[in-house]
Amino acid sequence: NAGVMQNPRHLVRRRGQEARLRCSPVKGHSHVYWYRQLPEEGLKFMVYLQKENIIDESGMPKERFSAEFPKEGPSILRIQQVVRGDSAAYFCASSPITVNEQFFGPGTRLTVL
């Protein structure tokens, strides 16, 4: 009866490298949300995915960021050519249906050197 799992929990990258953040939703949940928490700021929505589909990416930066939720396997948030401003905690949440209670993972804390 595992909850939302995210890995890695901590990730350190140098400027210009790629960061890959993984999220495994609660078993049976087909809706995944990604949020970002910048230092000293609140949580901001990034993207909402269902299996194999991006439903709402209105919160995603236009460049360098992408997300996927394949038919098999975890959801991936990918950040290319990271910059120091990408340093933040990235949280994944899942729900069984749209507009329902969301369950959050422990987050991945990304540090860009």
Partner 1 sequence: KQEVTQIPAALSVPEGENLVLNCSFTDSAIYNLQWFRQDPGKGLTSLLLIQSSQREQTSGRLNASLDKSSGRSTLYIAASQPGDSATYLCAVSHGSGNTGKLIFGQGTTLQVKP
Interface residues toward partner 1, by CB under 8 A: 31, 33, 35, 41-45, 48, 55-56, 58-59, 91, 93, 95, 98-107, 109
Q: Residue 5 in contact with residue 104, Cβ under 8 Å?
A: no
As a three-state string, the secondary structure of 24-84 is ECCCCCCEEEEEEECCCCCEEEEEEEECCEEEECCCCCCCCEEEECCCCCCEEEEECCCCH
Instruction: Pick between residue 80 and residue 98 the one whose CB is nearest to partner 1.
Output: 98
Q: To the nearest whole angstrom, how small is the minimum distance from the Cβ of residue 37 to partner 1?
A: 9
Q: To the nearest whole angstrom, how small is the minimum distance from the Cβ of residue 89 to partner 1?
A: 8
Instruction: Pick between residue 64 and residue 109 the one whose CB is nearest to partner 1.
Output: 109
